[in-house]
Structure 1
Amino acid sequence: MEHHGSPRIIAPVRRIGRREFDFERQVAVMAIVNRTPNSFHDQGRTFELDSAVEAARRAVEAGADWVDIGGFAFSAAQAPIGVDEEIDRVVPVISKVRGATDAVISVDTHRAPVAEAAIEAGADVINDTNGLREPGMARVAADTGATVVVTHSLGGPGRRVFRPSYGDVVAEVAAYLRERVAFALESGIAPDRIVIDPGHDLNKNTFHSLELTRRLEEITSIGYPTLVALSNKDFIGETLDRPQGERKEGTIAANVVSVMKGARILRVHDVAATVASVRMTEAVLGWREPLAPSHNLA
C-alpha cells in the first residue's frame, strides 16, 4: 500500500546528471537563476554573467540539488529575443556552473537550438514551459538522453493569453500532460527521463493555481516525478495580499502542501528556507532520520 504523499512513480530512483535521487522518499530543491533583464522576481539582478554564476554557486552552497538557468522569461511583457541571443545568455553560465558543481543543471528554454547548445555546454535537463511543442525539441531530448520537464501552459512563453478559462483546470492540465508525455515517449524519450509540471500561474489565475495545488494528486498520480514552480508567484501574492518580496511563508506553505500531495521537485528562489522545510517534511513522512536526535531519555 502507498503511504500518504507517495504516488507510484515511474522509475523513482533516477540518475540525473551527476546526482542520484530516490523520488519515493526524497524531494529535490531546484534553484532559479534567471539571466534575463526582466525576470519577475529578481528584476534582472543576475543578468550579469558573474552575478548569475555566483547566484548558482550560492544556491548549491545553501543546499540546492539542482540549478535552473534561463535566458528568456515566460511573461508576454518582454521584447522577443533571437535564438542566438538566448544561447549567448545561458551557455556561458551553464559552462561556468558545470565547472564548479556536480549539482543538476537544467536550461529553462522552449527552443530546440538553445536546448542543444545548453546540453553541449553541460546541462542535464531541458525545462520546457512549452510542453515540447517547438519543432525539434523532442528530438533534441531523445538524441541527447537529457531529462525533460514537460510543463502545461496554454500559450507558451512570450504569448499573451487574455483571461484564461477552463471548465475544470485540473482535469484539463492532467489531460494535456498525459498527451504531451505520450508524444515524448513516441519521440523516443525514455520514461525515466520524463518529469511533469502543471505550470502554476502559467496562463492561470489565482483560483486556478489554488485548485491545482488542492488537487495536485490528480497530477502526481499520472506517475512521473512532478515539479512545482510556485515560488513567490502572483497567486500567493493575491491570496495573502503580499507584494513580490513578502511571499516566502506563503511559498513554503504551498510547497509543503505540494510535497504532501506527491510533488518531488520544487523550483524556488529562496533555497535555504526551502531546504529546511523540505528536510522537515521528509522526516515527518518517515523518509529520513533527524540529523541530531538526543538519545537522552531523562
Structure 2
Amino acid sequence: MDSVDAAGLGIGDDHPPRIMGVLNVSEESPYDPSVFDDPGEAARYVDEELIDEGADIVDIGLESANKRFDVLSASDELKRLHVALETIESVSGDAIFSIETRYADVADEALSHGFEMVNDICGFADPEMPAVCADHDVAVAKMASPPDLERPGAVEETDWSTRKSPEWARRSDFVDQVYEALKQNGMTDKTILDPAFGGWSDAQTLEDDRETFRRLREFRALGRPLLVSINRKNFLGEIADRETDERLPVSLAATSMAVERGAHVIRTHDVAETRDAALIGSTFTDRTSATADGLTLSQLDVHSTRELRSQLRERGIDPAFADDLWTQLFEIEGLDPDSSGRLLSIAADHGAVGERVTDGRFLLAGSTTSILDISDRLTDESGRLDRLGRELSGVLR
C-alpha cells in the first residue's frame, strides 16, 4: 500500500486515519450547517467546528453534487472561488485545504492561490485534471465515476461493453464496476481513491452501497489510500430506520468498520465524533508491517477469495490461482440424513472434506474450486441442497 504525502500530511497504512471536514460555499448544498457565503463566518466555522474538533483536511465545495441540481460550468465555479480563497486566508488553524471540483481549470486556479489538495468527484473525466495535480505536486481524491463531467458517481451509466468488453459487462456486478471505474483515466503518484457511496444515480441502490461497504477491502488491491464518505448516508439510515438528523450513531459505527476494512480518510460533517470512531477502528485493525535492515515485510489485507483474486490480478498473476490457494470452511445445519449423506459423498468426489459434528450439523472444508464444483452439483428432492448450492456459489463468486 503506497502512502500519499498531502502537503506534509501522511495518508496511508503507516499513518493515523485522517478526518476530512466539509465546508460548502454553494447555496444548493443540502446540509445547511456547513453552508456559508460570507468568508468571515465560514472561517470561524472552519476554525471552531472543523479544525478545533480534529479535522486534518478541510474540503471546500463550490457547488452541490446532488443530481437534483443543474451542473455548474467551470466559469460558474470560478466566480464562486473567491469566497473559498478569502475563507482560507482568514482561517487561523492548521489544516490541509482541498478544493472539490470536477474541472482542471478550477483546480489549477485554486491550487495557485492557497489550496493544497483536490477532491475530484468525476474521477478525472476532465482529461487535464491528472496533469494539473501532478504539476502542482498535490494529492488528489479520485471518485469512481463514468467519463462524464455531468454524471459524477454514476458508474453503471458507463458503456462497459466498449470500455472493457461485452463479456465483462455481462458478468460484472456493481462493485466490479466501481473497482474498474477507479482504474479508468489513470492515476497520479498522489491519488487517493473514493468508491462513491451515495445515491449518485437513480440506478444506484442502497444495497449497492451496502455491498460496496462489505467488499471495501477489495479496493486495497489497487495499492492506493482510500477515502470514504459515508456520513449519515441513506444506506446506513435504512438499517436502523433513522432520518438524516438521527444517523450519527450508525455513521460512527460504520466509520470504525470502514477504517478496519482499509479506509484512510473519512469525509464527514461530524468531525469530533468521527475522529474518535476512526481512532477506535484504527487501534483494533490487525495489519502487519515491519522494516529491518532495509527489508520491509507487509501482510496483505486478504479476508476472502475475492480479495485474493484482486490482489493477484493487480500484480499480474492469474487470479484463477486464488481458487486453488484459498481454503474455505463452512458449518452447515438443517439437512436431513439423506441430503447430508449426498453432500458428503459429493464432497469426497471433489477433493473436499466433510465431517459430521453432531446430528444435522457438520463442517465442509476445501479449496474454492472444489467448493464451487460441489455447489454446481448439489440437488435433492427437498430442494435444500439446491438452495445450499446457490448460497455457496453466491458467497464465493
After superposition, the C-alpha distances for 1:225-267 in whole angstroms (9 at most, x for unaligned) are 0000111122223333222211111111121111111111000
Paired residue for 1:107? 99
1:46 and 1:151 map into 2 onto residues whose CA distance is 24
Structure 2 residue 144 is matched with structure 1 residue 138: no
2:195 and 2:67 map into 1 onto residues whose CA distance is 19
In structure 1, what residue type is equivalent to 2:278? V
How much does 1:67 deviate?
0.4
Conserved 8 A contact 1:19-1:102: no
Q: Judging changes above 3 Å, is the alpha-carbon distance between structure 1 residues 47 and 206 closer, same or farther for their aligned structure 2 residues?
A: farther
How much does 1:21 deviate?
4.3
After superposition, the C-alpha distances for 1:128-177 in whole angstroms (9 at most, x for unaligned) are 01000114222211211121111113476654999958941111111221
Paired residue for 2:229? 229
How much does 1:281 deviate?
2.5
Residues 232-271 of structure 1: pairs in structure 2 closer than 5 A: 232-271=232-271
The runs of 5 or more residues in structure 1 that have no matched partner are 1-8, 288-298
After superposition, the C-alpha distances for 1:3-27 in whole angstroms (9 at most, x for unaligned) are xxxxxx11x2x43124344533410
- Of all paired residues, the percent bearing the same amino acid is 25
Q: Could you tell me the TM-score, scaled by structure 1's length?
A: 0.81
Residues 50-69 of structure 1: pairs in structure 2 closer than 5 A: 50-58=40-48, 59-69=50-60
1:155 and 1:43 map into 2 onto residues whose CA distance is 32
Partner of 2:210: helix, strand, or coil? helix
Residues 14-163 of structure 1: pairs in structure 2 closer than 5 A: 14-21=4-11, 23-42=13-32, 45-58=35-48, 59-98=50-89, 100-154=92-146, 158-159=150-151
Q: Judging changes above 3 Å, is the alpha-carbon distance between structure 1 residues 240 and 40 closer, same or farther for their aligned structure 2 residues?
A: farther
Structure 2 residue 189 is matched with structure 1 residue 199: no
1:199 and 1:51 map into 2 onto residues whose CA distance is 30
Conserved 8 A contact 2:133-2:139: yes
Partner of 1:97: helix, strand, or coil? helix
Partner of 1:74: helix, strand, or coil? coil
1:273 and 1:101 map into 2 onto residues whose CA distance is 19
The runs of 5 or more residues in structure 2 that have no matched partner are 158-168, 288-397
Q: Which has the higher contact order (CA 8 A, sep 6+)?
A: 1
Structure 2 residue 158 is matched with structure 1 residue 168: no
In structure 2, what residue type is equivalent to 1:27? P
Conserved 8 A contact 1:69-1:90: no
1:227 and 1:112 map into 2 onto residues whose CA distance is 20
In structure 2, what residue type is equivalent to 1:54? R
Quick one: which of 165, 178, 184 aligns to 2:183?
178
Conserved 8 A contact 1:94-1:105: no
How much does 1:126 deviate?
1.0
Partner of 1:221: helix, strand, or coil? helix
Conserved 8 A contact 1:31-1:67: yes
* Matched residues, number: 269
Q: Could you tell me the TM-score, scaled by structure 2's length?
A: 0.62
How much does 1:219 deviate?
1.1
**Which structure: larger Rg?**
2
